[in-house]
Structure 1
Amino acid sequence: MIKDLRHAWKDPVLLAALFGPLVLLFLSRFGFPVAAHWLDVNYSFHLEPYRGFAASLLVVTIPMLTGMLTGLLMLDERDENVIAYYAVTPIMRKGYLLYRVTLPFLLCTGLSMVYLSFSTLSDIHWDKLGVLLLLAMEAPLFSLFLAAFSANKVEGLALSKIGGLFIAGPVVAYFVPGAWQMLGAWLPTYWPAKVPYFMTQNEPFLAILFCSIGLLLHAVYLYFMVSVFNNRQS
């Protein structure tokens, strides 16, 4: 892990992915009140009713950033043939993959806990373990998405920009009416945005139901990504 941090420190893109969640926390805590006041004074537009949406939009960016960090590191290691080296050591390929999945999971868990605890923008806090677990599972999912479908780091950077479209999940969760939401339910980011929505609407049964479905879907996606990654390495 120390080696990864040193590597990230030398790469501007990886450094931005590492400190990006802290920038999001700053924007949530200090930027939102300023923007809300400015819009109210100049355009009579009330931003406060959209606090939950803004919180969801920002918090789902954290697993994307941490996932991008690890995914690009994996692409670097593939280019340097490090993965093949680990395959013949006692760690073996499974141990390497387990480490690469666990690192973004833990990193995203910690950063999401900090965001949900100190942003003052969300009514959902880190003790809502279902939401936190959904967010944490998305980080290795995004890592493997980059590593499985990119041939090198350049392609990984391009794919990470396309993957940024996944941020549409909260938009669907909050603004698309009725059954039309199911068209966006395939997006992983839909679920950690929809579960807090039900929590704030005092609908605990729907929150638990959607959290369970979301966790199952994330597990299926992770299994698929691991399979694609392993097939690419063989």
Structure 2
Amino acid sequence: MNDIRHAGNDPVLMVGFLGPILLIVLTRYGFPMAAQWLEASYSFDLTVYGHFAAVLLIVTIPMLLGMMTGLLMLDERDENVISYYAVTPLMKRGYISYRLTLPTILSALLTTMFILSVGLTKFYWGIGLVLVLLAFEAPWFALLVAAFAANKVEGLALYKIGALLFIAGPIVVFFVPDVWLWVGVWIPTYWPALVFSTGTSGHSFASLIYFSIGFLYHVAILFTVIRLFIKRMD
């Protein structure tokens, strides 16, 4: 309840909270209208890029949730609220667990809602692998901001840089020539985009291999930023 009140008093946090829902609604109704208009006006078939649009838009959901959580954690760190949590039965470990669990669950629910609602791609078992990787991205993005930013202004600046990083992953997968795909392996969103692309192309075994690599990479990033955040708290 305190998180909801806090987000309601801050327009930036409100964007992170309501942004994914607005994105789902706009994509569900806006993409078909844009496709029809482009087809009628310029004979341009936007539906050919439906899979790319689905991946590009869906990765913004954990990004927005991570931003909201990271800014909340910055406020609590600046106000020394985390020190008060540390002496309660919740303790620091419980506080971090809560802060990471909430965006993870919301990311899983909202990305699933996106896939089921917007109609840009069909839901099949491989999409579940993509959703697992995306669920990991919300907590690490939150801690990335909270661990490196000294205040909310720096946090917003890091968010803008991180947004470019999130968007770069799907762009590399869908538009960079195969011989240059290796340049995207260090971008976290590259892996869910690659799993999605190979899965929808019918390469199920390759999709599982890429998921396994991406999963280990996401876990490594998450543990790294957790350690950095704990060190920053201390």
Tell me the TM-score normalized by structure 1. 0.96
Structure 2 match to 1:29 = 28
Task: Structure 2: state its 5+ residue gaps.
Answer: none
Runs of 4+ in 1 over 6 A off after TM superposition: none
| SS in structure 2 at match of 1:128 | helix
**How far does the alpha carbon of each residue in 1:128-168 deviate from its partner, in whole angstroms, 9 at most, with x for none?**
32111101000001100100010111111111111111211
Superposed counterparts of 1:7-156, under 5 Å: 7-124=6-123, 128-156=127-155
Superposed counterparts of 1:195-214, under 5 Å: 195-214=195-214
CA distance in 1 between partners of 2:173 and 2:180 (Å):
10
Which AA in structure 2 matches 1:172? Answer: V
Structure 2 match to 1:225 = 225
* Contact 1:52–1:121 (CA under 8 A) maintained in structure 2: yes
Give aligned pairs, total. 233
**How far does the alpha carbon of each residue in 1:17-76 deviate from its partner, in whole angstroms, 9 at most, with x for none?**
111111211222111111111111222211111000000000000000000111000001
Shift of 1:126: 8.1
Cα distance change on mapping 1:102 and 1:126 into 2, 3 Å: farther
Which AA in structure 2 matches 1:88? Answer: V
Structure 1 match to 2:159 = 160
* Contact 2:54–2:121 (CA under 8 A) maintained in structure 1: yes
RMSD: 1.3
Task: Structure 1: state its 5+ residue gaps.
Answer: none
Greater shift, 51-60 or 7-16, is seen at 7-16
* Contact 2:126–2:199 (CA under 8 A) maintained in structure 1: no
CA distance in 2 between partners of 1:177 and 1:82 (Å):
49
* Contact 2:71–2:152 (CA under 8 A) maintained in structure 1: yes
* Contact 1:124–1:196 (CA under 8 A) maintained in structure 2: no
Greater shift, 116-125 or 202-211, is seen at 116-125
CA distance in 1 between partners of 2:178 and 2:230 (Å):
39
Greater shift, 221-230 or 32-41, is seen at 32-41
CA distance in 2 between partners of 1:52 and 1:79 (Å):
41
CA distance in 2 between partners of 1:204 and 1:125 (Å):
11
Cα distance change on mapping 1:124 and 1:190 into 2, 3 Å: farther
CA distance in 1 between partners of 2:127 and 2:41 (Å):
37
Superposed counterparts of 1:189-200, under 5 Å: 189-200=189-200
Which AA in structure 2 matches 1:37? Answer: Q
Which AA in structure 2 matches 1:184? Answer: G
Greater shift, 115-124 or 156-165, is seen at 115-124
| SS in structure 1 at match of 2:104 | helix
* Contact 1:169–1:184 (CA under 8 A) maintained in structure 2: yes
* Contact 2:126–2:196 (CA under 8 A) maintained in structure 1: no
Shift of 1:122: 2.2
